[in-house]
């Protein structure tokens, strides 16, 4: 949630900051603002709405500065408006701060400061932190010391960047539970909440650890813990280029990312799929191979789309490996005192690797002594560094808020993991080869689906009037029904629900009438006839039936108003194919309705707050 960028160097700071905000806008777009220091004076500009509103405000202003901080906001405390927008300043307009996260004890801190005569103009928890730093700064006249003193009083999470007009050649940043990255350029430094704001200027970065603080000067930097102990930060190389975070001729990032899936699936398999051996090689799991051999139970934990991937993972692991699996909402995991035994393995799944609830679940599992693995996309992310071992999905930057390519890459990695675990146990080499071949054929089969995207576009145009959708699937494709419904809700604002097909008659069937589109995922598998019976139940209530079916299935046509065919594959791999037309359906309906597909209302890409 929210995007932070700070710059100190020789360039025009306003241009660098605005460019960074535009790169980070997918992380929050309720309001935007920046603070710079010009000739010893702190200047702050902020506006409600998209970054474009801030750009308009600054167009005619002549500002000469080379240091500043900026923020694009997803609101937590206080409604989106100019006053609540970041940056926030202290009472003397000396300190300016941008902040991601939540200060949980802001109310008690605010009451303490009010009693000392300080005042507040916004509803935010961040302004409380700005005033608190200003309070300590008045005492110490040392920015780093004031920040350390203030942060030691804070309960909650934060990623912050801070300026002082009295120390104009310095930016201080710190983190606890919210990502912060430092880009190391030539006589310049950029601090940001995401590498997307950095890679135009440098690929060398440092990932701050929890409770770590960095001080950036014009010629150097230093890192310490918040309690003032020196740390040794390792410089990493960011391995994606600028083209990965640009639209590349597509109208929206979401459409680009849907069409990137043949390549991202290949990337998830590259160097890992051993077709001739009927096996998979996952080098990131080598440190825990003995644990994998002796595991008694897996617990998969995630949020949102990643939780749906975990549900598919449950089917995969149990069916191929015979190992019990439980799937937990990460947001509930740490609050219910989960029972974790000696040979349990917890797998955390997250696109960003920064999801606050999932990171908290990782910490809870580690506290209870579990082996914890990560399946994440972002190299160097908090979950990747907090887990014992893991697998990157290699989907590349995903800018569209509604996840698409990350979901299918997660499913591919879960399929590879299940293949590996199965071969460790009772899965024969012959069956392993069949599965490995099926996985290797997925990219070309996805390409076949995307070549017929216009068929989905036509269906979307016809059903864009609908105010409700029902998605139904069974077995491996029940989680796909949930994911299809989520995509529809996220980008079209149409109410949609996903259910196992057989559960329809236990309540949802009451909703069905001639205006209700019902999307069935009905591949030709062992429960195909059961799904046909469910379709008949919908037709008898005049529901409008849309079916995702296996190619050459002519029988399905007499039961459905609309049919979209996907190539035949193994039942365990159908979710990777069947979800793609559902992604396209949501996308094209959102476009038909005129919505901002990449930046849906009330949503942001990386949920780094509870």
First to last CA, the chain: 10
Same domain? 357 vs 464: no
Same domain? 361 vs 506: no
Q: What is the mean pLDDT of residues 389-406?
A: 93
Same domain? 38 vs 164: yes
Q: What is the pLDDT of residues 399-445, one digit of tens each?
A: 888 999 999 999 999 999 999 999 999 999 999 999 999 999 999 99
65-87 burial, b at 16+ Cβ within 10 Å, e below that, comes to: bbbbbbbbbbbbbbeebeebbbb
Please check whether residue 594 lies inside any domain of the structure. Answer: yes
Domain count, the chain: 3
Same domain? 483 vs 585: yes
Residue from 48, 50, 445, 605 carrying the catalytic annotation: 605
Same domain? 276 vs 382: yes
Same domain? 134 vs 77: yes
> Catalytic annotation on 65?
no
Q: Using N-to-C axis directions, what is the helix angle for 143-151 and 125-140, rounded to 10°?
A: 130
Q: What is the pLDDT of residues 25-79, one digit of tens each?
A: 776 678 899 999 999 999 999 999 889 999 999 988 889 999 999 999 876 666 7
Residue 502's pLDDT is what? Answer: 81
- Expressed as residue numbers, the domain containing 75 is 3-238
Residue 518's pLDDT is what? Answer: 94
Same domain? 210 vs 263: no
Last residue of one domain, picked from the residues 188, 216, 238: 238
Same domain? 365 vs 486: no
> Catalytic annotation on 605?
yes
Tell me the DSSP string of 426-462: T--HHHHHHHHHHHHTHHHHHHHHHHTHHHHHHHHHH
Residue 604's pLDDT is what? Answer: 65
Same domain? 68 vs 41: yes
Residue 370's pLDDT is what? Answer: 92
Last residue of one domain, picked from the residues 371, 405, 440: 440
Residue 310's pLDDT is what? Answer: 98
Residue 464's pLDDT is what? Answer: 94
Tell me the DSSP string of 319-375: HHH---EEEEEHHHHTTS-----TTEEEEEEESSS--HHHHHHHHHHHHTT-EEEEE
- The rounded mean pLDDT for the chain is 92
Residue 75's pLDDT is what? Answer: 67
Question: In angstroms, what CA-CA distances link 174 with 85, 185, 227, 542?
Answer: 20, 19, 12, 58
Please check whether residue 610 lies inside any domain of the structure. Answer: no
Place of tokens 């150097």: 220
Same domain? 356 vs 479: no
Last residue of one domain, picked from the residues 440, 474, 496: 440
Residue 121's pLDDT is what? Answer: 94
Element (H, E) at 500: strand 495-500
Same domain? 356 vs 234: no
Quick check: helix, strand or coil at residue 172?
A: strand
Residue from 2, 65, 303, 321 carrying the catalytic annotation: 2
Q: What is the pLDDT of residues 138-189, one digit of tens each?
A: 999 999 999 999 999 999 889 999 999 999 999 999 999 888 999 999 999 9
> What tokens appear for 430 in the block?
């012959």
Same domain? 249 vs 224: no
Task: Tell me phi and psi for residue 70, to 5 degrees.
Answer: -150, 165
């Amino acid at each position: 949630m929210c995007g932070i960028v700070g710059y100190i160097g020789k360039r025009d700071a306003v241009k660098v900051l605005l460019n960074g905000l535009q790169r980070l806008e997918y992380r929050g777009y309720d309001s935007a603002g920046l603070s710079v220091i010009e000739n010893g004076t702190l200047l702050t500009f902020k506006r409600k709405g998209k970054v474009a509103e801030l750009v308009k405000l600054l167009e005619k202003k002549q500002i000469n500065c080379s240091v500043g901080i900026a923020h694009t906001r997803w609101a937590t405390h206080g409604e989106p408006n100019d006053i609540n927008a970041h940056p926030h300043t202290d009472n003397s307009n000396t300190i300016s701060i941008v902040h991601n996260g939540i200060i949980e004890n802001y109310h008690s801190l605010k009451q303490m400061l009010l009693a000392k005569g300080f005042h507040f103009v916004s509803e935010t928890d961040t302004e409380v932190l700005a005033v608190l730093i200003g309070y300590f700064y008045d005492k110490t006249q040392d920015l780093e010391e004031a920040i350390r003193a203030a942060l030691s009083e804070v309960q909650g999470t934060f990623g912050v960047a801070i300026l002082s007009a009295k120390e104009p050649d310095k930016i201080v940043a710190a983190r606890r539970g919210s990502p912060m990255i430092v880009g190391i350029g030539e006589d310049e430094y950029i601090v940001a909440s995401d590498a997307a704001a950095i890679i135009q200027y440098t690929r060398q970065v440092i990932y701050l650890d929890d409770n770590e603080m960095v001080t950036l000067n014009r010629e150097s930097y230093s890192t310490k813990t918040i309690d003032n102990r020196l740390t040794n930060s390792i410089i990493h190389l960011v391995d994606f280029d600028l083209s990965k975070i640009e639209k590349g001729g597509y109208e929206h990032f979401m459409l680009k990312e849907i069409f990137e899936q043949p390549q991202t699936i290949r990337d998830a398999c590259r160097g890992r799929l051993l077709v001739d051996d009927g096996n998979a090689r996952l080098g990131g799991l080598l440190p825990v191979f003995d644990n994998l051999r002796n595991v008694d139970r897996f617990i998969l934990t995630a949020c949102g789309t990643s939780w749906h991937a975990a549900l598919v993972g449950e089917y995969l692991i149990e069916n191929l490996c015979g190992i019990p699996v439980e799937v937990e909402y990460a947001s509930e995991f740490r609050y219910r005192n989960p029972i974790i035994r000696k040979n349990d393995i917890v797998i955390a799944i997250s696109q960003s690797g920064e999801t606050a609830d999932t990171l908290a679940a990782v910490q809870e599992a580690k506290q209870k002594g579990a082996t914890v693995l990560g399946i994440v996309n972002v190299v160097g992310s908090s979950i990747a560094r907090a887990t014992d071992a893991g697998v990157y999905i290699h989907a590349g930057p995903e800018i569209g808020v509604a996840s698409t390519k990350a979901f299918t890459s997660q499913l591919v990695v879960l399929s590879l993991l299940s293949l590996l675990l199965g071969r460790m146990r009772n899965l024969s080499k012959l069956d392993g080869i069949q599965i490995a071949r099926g996985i290797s054929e997925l990219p070309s089969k996805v390409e076949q689906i995307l070549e017929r995207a216009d068929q989905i576009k036509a269906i979307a145009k016809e059903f864009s009037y609908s105010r409700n959708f029902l998605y139904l699937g069974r077995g491996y494709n029940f989680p796909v029904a949930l994911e299809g419904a989520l995509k529809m809700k996220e980008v079209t604002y149409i109410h949609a629900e996903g259910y196992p097909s057989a559960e329809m008659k236990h309540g949802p069937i009451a909703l069905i009438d001639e205006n209700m589109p019902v999307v069935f995922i009905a591949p030709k598998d062992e429960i195909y006839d059961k799904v046909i019976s469910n379709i008949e139940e919908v037709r008898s209530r005049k529901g409008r039936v849309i079916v995702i079916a296996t190619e050459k299935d002519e029988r399905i046509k007499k039961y459905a108003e609309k049919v979209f065919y996907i190539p035949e594959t193994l039942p365990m791999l159908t979710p990777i194919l069947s979800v793609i037309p559902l992604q396209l359906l949501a996308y094209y309906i959102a476009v038909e309705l005129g919505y901002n597909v990449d930046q849906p209302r009330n949503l942001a890409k990386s949920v780094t707050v509870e």
